[in-house]
Amino acid sequence: MERFAVLLIAVFVGVCQGYGVHMKSKANATLPLVMWHGMGDSCCNPLSLGRIQKMVEEQVPGIYVLSLQIGDNIIEDTANGFLMNVNKQIDMACDKISKDPKLQGGYNSMGFSQGGQFLRAVAQRCPSPPMHNLLSVGGQHQGVFGFPKCPGANYTLCEMVRKLLNLGAYESFIQDFLVQAEYWHDPLNEEEYRAKSVFLADINQEKVMNPSYKTNLMKLNKFVMVMFSKDTEVQPKESEWFGFYKPGQDKVLNTLQESAIYKNDTLGLKEMDAQKKLVFLTAEGDHLQFTEDWFKQNLVPYLK
């Protein structure tokens, strides 16, 4: 009888493998998490992402967390958040993710500030291994038109960014390396933005239509967007919910649902919305300011 039971189990496992059925043990039921920090921060700052990682590990025991470091050390990682072409950063992130054996079964992702739109680019450009849930915490998916505050301790870098943006965000040499220029969205000159933006206009399907971007983004289970109600760093803060100024002026705003991206469904967001894959959350506070209780209540459930 025991031999028959063992044989039956062996046959069942063989059939499951043959049909691509993946059986997860209880210990391996939680997907890993990939995180990407924001401007002026680094992968492992104990006061920011290091603290977030610890919180996640406490709330989701046994979870594997990869906090992306772009560069050979924390200093390079921080500087590259200002001064490395975003497309090159996406390539580096995709390479790290594809080579990590612990991520091959899929993963959730959580990006903070500019890390939110960077991880969306990863979802659109690098579908393997698959991203399950994308949590964008203060990400600027329609870009920014203003730079009122610069986070982080490096005042010199912040001043350099301001001066270069004032010089000309769409100058080719600035677009080649200045991160913030690559998601600068000038509503007063949409034509120049679409023609010269090397990153944001591309991932938002405003330059050349790339069908795979839509296909890959729609594979997400949930796309969670967090907007900070009192954000004084991101202009406009509604970009965190994929909203932006109506073209030709910088006062009146369109929601995502009022935008051409949604109405024409060039990224699949309209269909995702109908499928209840889009989640819009509000955090009461300034940019990236939230309590541990809010984080545990609102974001941790998407990581389990």
With both helix axes pointing from N to C terminus, report the angle between 86-99 and 114-125 in degrees, rounded to the nearest 10.
60
Q: Cα angle vertex 200, ends 196, 201, to 5°?
A: 55
Q: How far is CA 210 from CA 61, 85, 231, 264, in A?
A: 39, 20, 32, 14
Per DSSP, what are the bridge partners of residue 39?
A: none
Residue 106 host element (H or E): none
How close are the terminal C-alpha atoms of the chain, in Å? Answer: 39
Q: How far is CA 265 from CA 93, 130, 159, 226, 262, in A?
A: 27, 22, 38, 21, 5
- Given 3-state DSSP classes, what are the helix, strand and coil percentages for the chain, each rounded to the nearest 5? 45, 15, 40
Residue 287 appears among annotated catalytic residues:
yes
For the four alpha carbons of 114, 116, 122 and 124, in that order, the dihedral sign comes to negative
Residue 259 appears among annotated catalytic residues:
no
Phi and psi at 63, nearest 5°, equal -70, 145
Q: Which of 41, 77, 202, 231 is catalytic?
A: 231
Map tokens 């983004």 to a residue: 217
Residue 293 appears among annotated catalytic residues:
no
Q: Which of 113, 136, 197, 259 is catalytic?
A: 113
Compute the CA torsion angle 53, 55, 57, 58 (nearest 10 deg): 160
- What CA–CA distance (Å, rounded) separates 124 from 146? 26
Q: Which of 37, 141, 185, 287 is catalytic?
A: 287
- The single-letter code of the amino acid at 92 is M
The SS3 call for residue 152 is: coil
Residues labelled as active-site residues: 113, 231, 287
